[in-house]
Amino acid sequence: MTTTDLPALPVTFRPGRTRAVLLALGAVMFVVLTVVALLLPHLGVGERLSFVFTGALAFGVLWMLARPRVHAEETCVTVVNIASRRRLEWAEILQVRLRPGDPWVFLDLSDGTSLPVLGIQPGVAREQALRDARALRALVEARTAVRPT
């Protein structure tokens, strides 16, 4: 990927199909449980509320699972996973890895750790994930071309 092929910043990478499926499923579950709560005549108020609460809880869990993304800006990269968010300077990222069989991208960091990036996952949309991983790798290489020794 050449400099002219780099995506324009800011750019966000996320598993679009997975996100759409999870959010749609969550919305359907919430609506179905709410409708069931309203249509069953023998339920009390507390039972109806528990149906609605269960639907809202299911939607919340699926929303959290749909949350992962990677947001790249001029100065930094923000990795949002299911329950965490981490902001990284470009210089902190040594390598972007997506090996065959990996469930998502991993970032090798300058502190010796590896950070999973659930925002790029080849599960449902493999080709899109490969393009996103290559684009993120190219951005990292372009932003960290001159490393201090």
Q: What is the mean pLDDT of the segment spanning 61-75?
A: 95
- Alpha carbons 32 and 37: distance in angstroms, whole number: 9
Which residue, among 93, 94, 102, has the nearest Cα to 121 in the 3D structure?
102
Structure tokens at 60: 């919340």
Looking at the chain, list the stretches that DSSP marks H as alpha helix, in order from N- to C-terminal side: 16-39, 45-65, 126-143
Residue 123 scores a pLDDT above 80: no
pLDDT band at 144 (very low <50, low <70, confident <90, very high): confident
Q: What is the mean pLDDT of the segment spanning 105-126?
A: 91
Segment 20-60, tens digit of pLDDT: 999 999 999 999 999 999 999 999 999 999 999 999 999 99
**Any idea what DSSP says for residue 68?**
-
Segment 74-88, tens digit of pLDDT: 999 999 999 999 999
**Which pLDDT belongs to residue 119?**
94
Q: What is the mean pLDDT of the segment spanning 134-140?
A: 94
Q: At what angle do helices 45-65 and 16-39 cross, to 10 degrees?
A: 180
> Phi then psi for 36, rounded to 5 degrees?
-60, -45
